[in-house]
Amino acid sequence: MNKKIKVSHEVPFDLLDLSADFNDYDYCLPHLLDESEQYLEYFTQAKQQGRYIIMDNSLHELGTAYYTERLLHWINELKPNEFIVPDVWEHTTQSIVNARKWSQIKLPSDVTKVAVVQATSIGDAITCYQTYKDLGYKKIAFSYGASYYNSISDHPHKDLGKALGRIKLISQLYRTKVISATDRVHLLGCAVPQEFGWYIDMPFIESIDTSNPIMAALEGTAYGFNGLNEKPKLNMNQAQTCPYDEINIDLVRHNVELFRSINNLN
């Protein structure tokens, strides 16, 4: 990697305070601000402390983006540094419609709007990315789990194929100058943690969020020096309320530290 890339790992509620020790920024899921006083208190304090905050729209957790009125409420209340505008899973046209709508919505001046590429083919991804740039978006994100990544990469292993598919897509967009070196890109999640070490010489990668090392630790899985070959089955929806005394903190720290090491993110 050519520059400092900001990394954040989402954690269960009881690990929020610890996460500030190893996360470069805080990744906020707005629906949880309404559901958990503990979560709201953490992010209120994080804002007061001047920590960098990226607010998602909770699509991955809820299946659809969170309610617009509550998104606007929390954006204006918390004033995150970045906000990921609502997208629609694997639906290019509707995601562009949403991005166009949100490009006209006034947010606090210091909140950067981020749009997520949604597609079912490389052609859709190119259209989506370029349209977002034309709409004035200064930062654009790529999700990890899109089905078409497995058609881009012919690797027989599904999780490795998804990782390789996203890399090949972004590499092609960079090579063909759809993505420029001065663009700003966020990578949402991962299928396997070692993927991020393969974005060498791509200076536009600015930030990463993934709960992978945390979920692996909660399953009792330690990262090896080559990462993992499969994505943990556990997800944050299932693990959010996991109590502190049931978490192996040493294993969490091991995985977090090795995540940075194997991806040359130290």
Task: Report pLDDT digits (tens) over 38-65.
Answer: 999 999 999 999 999 999 999 999 999 9
Chain segment 188-241, per-residue pLDDT in tens: 999 999 999 999 999 999 999 999 999 999 999 999 999 999 999 999 999 999
User: What does each C-alpha distance from 150 to 27, 69, 105 come to in angstroms?
Assistant: 27, 36, 35
pLDDT of residue 104: 97
**Is a pLDDT exceeding 70 seen at residue 2?**
no
Residue 217 and residue 252 in contact, taking contact as beta carbons nearer than 8 Å: yes
Neighbours of 15 (CB within 10 A): 21
Q: pLDDT tens digits for 69-90? A: 999 999 999 999 999 999 999 9
Q: Evaluate whether 64 touches 37 at the Cβ level (below 8 Å).
A: no
Work out the mean pLDDT of the chain and round it to a whole number.
96
Give the pLDDT band (50/70/90) at residue 106: very high
pLDDT at position 1 is 44
Contacts of 165 (CB under 8 A, 6+ apart): 146, 148, 149, 150, 151, 152, 153
pLDDT tens, position by position, 138-192: 999 999 999 999 999 999 999 999 999 999 999 999 999 999 999 999 999 999 9
For residue 221, give the DSSP letter: P
pLDDT at 53: 98
Domains and CATH numbers, the chain: 6-211 (3.20.20.105)
What's the whole-number mean pLDDT along residues 241-246?
96
Q: CA nearest 194: which of 175, 206, 171, 210? A: 210
Q: How are strands ordered across the β-sheet holding 6-8?
A: 6-8, 205-209, 185-188, 139-143, 112-117, 82-84, 53-55, 26-28
Backbone angles phi, psi at 263, to 5 degrees: -100, 10
Q: Residue 266's pLDDT is what?
A: 74
pTM attached to this predicted model: 0.96
